């Protein structure tokens, strides 16, 4: 599917974004390994979460989807009769590997060509330290992964990369291990797993960047509501900041501080917004965000310690930086090279086509803001976050932008284009097949 978009006039109105993808994965997994029933409302309908759901079904878990409610019947996992397909989803593969390493059976996990080239040594190493037996392609570096379940033991682990997926993998493995685990993070990453573990009656202690988890825990199923996905909301925030006369209200969006680094960045850029109705639901902060068009944003310098809390928003920050006053500098973001695409290369290559003044660096980029972007033929690299970021660039560029391979937005946000349409945004779809 290609999208043809031209410069648009104001975004106006009120929206809700669909349930958070990260939290939805975790709700499905925690529901499966807890005693009793878990009822999940406002779950993400993304393809990535569907990958987790299908893997869990193939592990013998009964999951029912009725209207807007997903019911998971917690149970012992069973040996899958086939390979588990994680699709494009790193979260599915890394979190499930933690769970499966402690089960008394054999399992194999694979994914699409992007996922099969993403690093798995970062989880294989700690899982082996725990006594797990797990193998990967190319000397234990890449999927497919083969796991022969073992009785695990807790570990003391200092993480080299700041990754919530790695942290969550170890926490989940510990739930099936003897003893206890201590994890140290280089920088704080999203803490949805820790919050949800407590919500499901589990025990976990967090002291600064250190996490302590007891092994062999019994969890209890719950009713859980998934807040709107802050990462999805960011595209509407960016669009409203950039398009003259815009003003929108995004309701019931997750405001977990380990996710909302983007708000701090746009605040430094001079962006105008307000947070309203802040409250806590199911152990996660949630609220509304009102955003206003901001005539000229200023360039911003982003530091390595900020990167984990804006990890998925950096391509979008590159779009904002491209039309801001002065320089935008991102460093310490090498992790972007091992996402669904090499996001440093993909966003730099595509924004250059739109005449952005952006220079690729090993661990980030340097952007000199220009007055306007030019429409161009750009490609998503089959990466949902690149597609959505380029769509925003297309909304403010002079002339026509053709966004090739835009169907990948459904990996995290199938409703993306419809939601923009609902706010009065105009664009054309050049191929109705939805591929
Ligand atoms: C995620 C963590 C992040 C993020 C990904 C989702 C999660 O990955 O980029 O989109 O749900 O834990 P890393 O933890 O590998 O940085």
136 and 53 in a common domain: yes
Atom of ligand 1 nearest to the CA of 231: 10
205 and 71 in a common domain: yes
- The pLDDT value recorded for residue 91 is 98
Which residues, at least 6 apart from 394, have a Cβ–Cβ distance to it below 8 Å?
3, 5, 6, 375, 378, 401, 403, 427
Domain CATH number, residue 107: 3.65.10.10
* Nearest Cα to Cα of residue 232 among 1, 392, 19, 13: 19
Residue 26 CA to ligand 1 center (angstroms) comes to: 12
233 and 205 in a common domain: no
257 and 220 in a common domain: no
204 and 117 in a common domain: yes
Residue with CA at minimum distance from ligand 1 atom 11: 22
7 and 59 in a common domain: no
How far apart are the two ends of the chain, measured CA to CA in Å?
A: 5
Task: Classify residue 232: in a domain, yes or no.
Answer: yes
Task: Classify residue 175: in a domain, yes or no.
Answer: yes
Domain boundary among 182, 198, 225: 225
Atom of ligand 1 nearest to the CA of 189: 14
79 and 66 in a common domain: yes
Q: What percent of the chain has pLDDT over 70?
A: 99
Active site residue 312: yes
Going residue by residue through the chain (435 aa), what tens digit of pLDDT does each one get? Answer: 999 999 988 999 999 999 999 999 999 999 999 999 999 999 999 999 999 999 999 999 999 999 889 999 999 999 999 999 999 999 999 999 999 999 999 999 999 999 999 999 999 999 999 999 999 999 999 999 999 999 999 999 999 999 999 999 999 999 999 999 999 999 999 999 999 999 999 999 999 899 999 999 999 999 999 999 999 999 999 999 999 999 999 999 999 999 999 999 999 999 999 999 999 999 999 999 999 999 999 999 999 999 999 999 999 999 999 999 999 999 999 999 999 999 999 999 999 999 999 999 999 999 999 999 999 999 999 999 999 999 999 999 999 999 999 999 999 999 999 999 999 999 999 975 544
366 and 275 in a common domain: yes
Other beta carbons within 10 Å of 217: 18
pLDDT digits (tens, 9 = 90+) for 133-176: 999 999 999 999 999 999 999 999 999 999 999 999 999 999 99
- C-alpha 373/C-alpha 354 separation (Å) is 5
- C-alpha 237/C-alpha 359 separation (Å) is 25
165 and 141 in a common domain: yes
Residue with CA at minimum distance from ligand 1 atom 16: 163
Measured from CB, residues less than 6 Å from any atom of ligand 1 are: 22, 91, 163-165, 168, 189-190, 311-312, 335
Residue 295 CA to ligand 1 center (angstroms) comes to: 32
Residue 296 CA to ligand 1 center (angstroms) comes to: 31
Residue 94 CA to ligand 1 center (angstroms) comes to: 10
- The pLDDT value recorded for residue 247 is 97
Q: Which among 191, 312, 379, 382 is annotated as catalytic?
A: 312
Q: Give the 3-state secondary structure of residue 175.
A: coil
- CB 30, CB 96: distance < 8 Å: no
**H helices within 225-372, ranges in order?**
230-242, 261-269, 314-322, 343-353
- The pLDDT value recorded for residue 432 is 57
The best mutation among 25, 28, 29, 91 to test binding of ligand 1, ranked by most ligand atoms within 8 Å of the C-beta, falls on 91
Task: Classify residue 435: in a domain, yes or no.
Answer: no
Atom of ligand 1 nearest to the CA of 412: 10
Average pLDDT, the chain: 97
Count up the domains in the chain and report the number.
Answer: 2
pLDDT digits (tens, 9 = 90+) for 423-432: 999 999 997 5
Task: Classify residue 342: in a domain, yes or no.
Answer: yes
Which structural domain, as residue segments, surrounds residue 317?
3-19+227-429
pTM for this entry: 0.98
259 and 194 in a common domain: no
Task: Classify residue 45: in a domain, yes or no.
Answer: yes
Domain boundary among 198, 225, 252: 225
Residue 313 CA to ligand 1 center (angstroms) comes to: 11
Q: Are strands 106-110 and 142-148 parallel, antiparallel or unpaired?
A: antiparallel
The helix-helix angle for 230-242 and 261-269 (nearest 10°) equals 10
- The pLDDT value recorded for residue 431 is 75
Task: Classify residue 334: in a domain, yes or no.
Answer: yes
296 and 196 in a common domain: no
- C-alpha 19/C-alpha 42 separation (Å) is 5
Domain boundary among 163, 194, 225: 225
284 and 166 in a common domain: no
Task: Classify residue 434: in a domain, yes or no.
Answer: no
């Amino acid at each position: 599917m290609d999208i043809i978009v031209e410069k648009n006039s104001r975004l106006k109105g009120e929206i809700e974004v669909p349930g958070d993808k990260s939290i939805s994965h975790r709700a499905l997994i925690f529901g499966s390994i807890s005693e009793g029933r878990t009822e999940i409302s406002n779950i993400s309908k993304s393809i990535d979460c569907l990958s987790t759901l299908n893997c869990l079904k193939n592990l013998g878990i009964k999951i029912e989807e009725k209207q807007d409610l997903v019911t998971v019947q917690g149970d012992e996992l069973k040996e899958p009769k086939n390979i588990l397909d994680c699709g494009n989803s790193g979260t599915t593969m890394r979190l499930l590997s933690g769970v499966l390493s402690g089960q008394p059976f054999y399992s194999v996990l694979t994914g699409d060509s992007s996922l099969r080239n993403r690093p798995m040594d970062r989880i294989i190493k700690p899982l082996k330290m725990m006594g797990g037996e797990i193998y990967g392609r190319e000397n234990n570096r890449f999927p497919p992964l083969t796991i022969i379940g073992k009785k695990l033991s807790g570990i003391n682990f200092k993480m080299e990369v700041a990754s919530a997926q790695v942290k969550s993998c170890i926490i989940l493995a510990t739930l099936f291990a003897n003893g206890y685990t201590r994890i140290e993070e280089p920088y704080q990453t999203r803490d949805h797993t820790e919050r949800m573990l407590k919500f499901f009656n589990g025990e976990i202690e967090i002291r600064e960047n250190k996490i302590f988890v007891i092994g062999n825990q019994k969890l209890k199923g719950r009713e859980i509501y998934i807040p709107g996905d802050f990462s999805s909301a960011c595209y509407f925030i960016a669009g409203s900041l950039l398009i003259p006369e815009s003003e929108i209200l995004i309701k019931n969006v997750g405001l977990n501080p380990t996710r909302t680094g983007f708000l701090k960045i746009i605040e430094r850029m001079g962006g105008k917004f307000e947070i309203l109705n802040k409250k806590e639901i199911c152990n996660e902060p949630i609220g509304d965000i009102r955003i206003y068009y901001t005539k000229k944003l200023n360039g911003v310098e982003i530091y390595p310690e900020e990167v984990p809390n804006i990890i998925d928003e950096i391509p979008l920050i590159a779009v904002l930086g491209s039309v801001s006053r002065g320089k935008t500098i991102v460093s310490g973001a090498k992790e972007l090279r091992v996402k669904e695409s090499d996001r440093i290369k993909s966003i730099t290559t595509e924004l250059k086509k739109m005449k952005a003044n952006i220079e690729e660096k090993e661990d980030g980029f340097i952007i000199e803001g220009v007055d306007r972007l030019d429409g161009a033929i750009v490609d998503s690299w089959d990466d949902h976050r690149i597609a959505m970021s380029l769509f925003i660039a297309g909304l403010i560029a002079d002339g026509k932008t053709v966004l090739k391979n835009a169907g990948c937005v459904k990996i995290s946000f199938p409703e993306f284009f419809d939601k923009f349409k609902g706010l009065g945004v105009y664009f054309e779809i050049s191929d109705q097949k939805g591929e």
